[in-house]
Amino acid sequence: MAKKKGKKLIFILVPVVLIGVVVGLAFAGIINIPGLSPKAKKKVEAKKDDKKAAKPVAKTPTPPKPADTPSTAKPVVTTDPEKGNAKLATLWNELDTAKLKSIIEGMKDPELVPVLVKMDDEAVTNLLATLEPKRAAALSQAIRAEASKTAPKSDDF
């Protein structure tokens, strides 16, 4: 019975040790196993030694890169602040006043006003009522100034 346990132990222990050795050698970089072996540092060090030993060679100027052609040029991304303000106002209209107050506490008034102008009047009124009087007054004046702006008429050009 003792011999059977010893044989079972050997059949289990030997493969585990072999696997451990292989994985350890892979981590050490001695065996190359993709995903386990580290990047080849030895090659980089050898290249550095070769560069030190090699004679300096005169560099030839590289030709300038051609300008991007229209077919390979990346499209220019433009932003529309008005569209962003309208989207944010729509989202903020759905928030509870206390939650909205906690969101805007870290924001500056010039960032808030364009969004507040686009929000529902009731939501803005509830928000202003929960703010400190000085900030509510400053935001109210800024909202009035922003709301009084008009788009230029086509005759003005």
1 within some domain? no
pLDDT of residue 96: 93
Domain range for 93:
81-149
C-alpha torsion angle, residues 84, 86, 87, 88 (rounded to 10): 80
Give the pLDDT confidence score for residue 49 in this predicted structure.
Answer: 57
- pLDDT given at position 1: 61
pLDDT in tens, 117-155: 999 999 999 999 999 999 999 999 999 998 888 877 766
| Domain-embedded: residue 111 | yes
- Residue at 119 is within a domain: yes
pTM exceeds 0.85: no
Mean pLDDT of 33-58: 60
Pick the residue with more confidence: 71 or 129? Answer: 129
Look at residue 37 and tell me if it is in a domain: no
Q: Is 75 part of a structural domain of the chain?
A: no
The answer on pLDDT for 20 being more than 90 is: no
Assess if residue 61 is contained within a domain: no
The predicted model gives 89-116 an average pLDDT of 92
CA dist 136 to 39, 129, 152, Å?
59, 7, 29
Q: Report whether 73 contacts 103 (CB < 8 A).
A: no
How many domains does one find in the chain? 1
Between CA 6 and CA 71 the distance in angstroms is 72
> Within a domain: residue 54?
no
Segment 49-72 shows an average pLDDT of 61
pLDDT at 125: 94
Residue 8 domain-assigned (yes or no): no
